[in-house]
Amino acid sequence: MKTKLIFLLLSSFITGSLFLDAQDLKVGDYYALIIGVDNYSGDWEVLSNAVRDAKTLEQTLEQHYKFDYFRALINEEASRENIINAFEWLMSTVTEDDNVLIYYTGHGDYNSKLDAGFWVPADAQSSSVSGLISNTDVITFIKGIKSRHTLLISDACFTGDIFRGQAIQVEYEDSPKYYEKVHQSSSRKAITSGGIEPVLGGGSDGHSVFAFFLLRALMKNENKYFDATQLYNNVWIPVANNSEQTPQFHPLKNTGDAGGQFVFVKKGD
């Protein structure tokens, strides 16, 4: 009996089930806010990849990962008012046990006099900041969402401006204890397609360079758990090697990040 117990404990240690079983990680609900704009009014150039990128991401998450609530704002739906309303929906609905993914793809803008970057809603008529949504506002909204984990993924020009300094986080390791630890600690992080330089739209299979490798990483993942660090590590090298942009991944300062990680939970076959 004693020998059998020792064997079971050793087997559990090797497989990781002693620390974490697929049924034991209590992850709460998953929310996805997905924004994609090709068709702009006013002075903004029409894009060709953003809507396809956004819709494909929504389909990928819905088919392959645990996501409970989706809100998608596509083209004219992604007005400044509707985007702000969607953030307010997350702030009023999400609980401290839940997880939030926010994805934005469309035009970005940078105001050198203000030293600030902006999202460009579908109804923006010009580069006047009165019709835009600043990266500072985005961070403020994220701070107001009472989730355990919030991950922002942004594929637009000048989105790297959202980072103002860096924060310390838990170093990734492929072990059950790691997932347990990073899930318990809160996180507010962002993956962006570039820094404050313009980013490229045209990529492969009708997607931007960034979206192509992002989607490929999510679809090729075969593990039950797949965190934001792993996602970034599967994206930044091929994007940097196949374009003039370098994706970034950092915690968002002063938003409540405690070094945790957003964990994607893959659905069973």
What's the predicted TM-score (pTM) here? 0.86
Residue 16 is assigned to a structural domain of this protein: no
Residue 8 is assigned to a structural domain of this protein: no
Low pLDDT (below 70) residues in the chain: 1-24, 159-175, 195-203, 269
Contacts of 146 (CB under 8 A, 6+ apart): 91, 94, 95, 96
Residue with tokens 């990128």: 53
Residue 257 sits in a domain of what CATH number? 3.40.50.1460
Q: Is 103 exposed, middle or buried (0-12, 13-18, 19+ CB in 10 A)?
A: buried
* 183's tokens: 């899930």
Residue 199: predicted pLDDT: 47
Residue 96 is assigned to a structural domain of this protein: yes
Residue 3 is assigned to a structural domain of this protein: no
Residue 7 is assigned to a structural domain of this protein: no
Residue 5 is assigned to a structural domain of this protein: no
Residue 62 is assigned to a structural domain of this protein: yes
Residue 184 is assigned to a structural domain of this protein: yes
Number of domains in the chain: 1
Taken in order 112, 117, 121, 122, the sign of the CA dihedral is positive
Q: Nearest CA to 149 among 20, 29, 14?
A: 29
Domain residues for the domain of 175 are 26-265
Residue 205: predicted pLDDT: 75
Residue 164: predicted pLDDT: 53
Beta bridge partners of 152: 102, 190
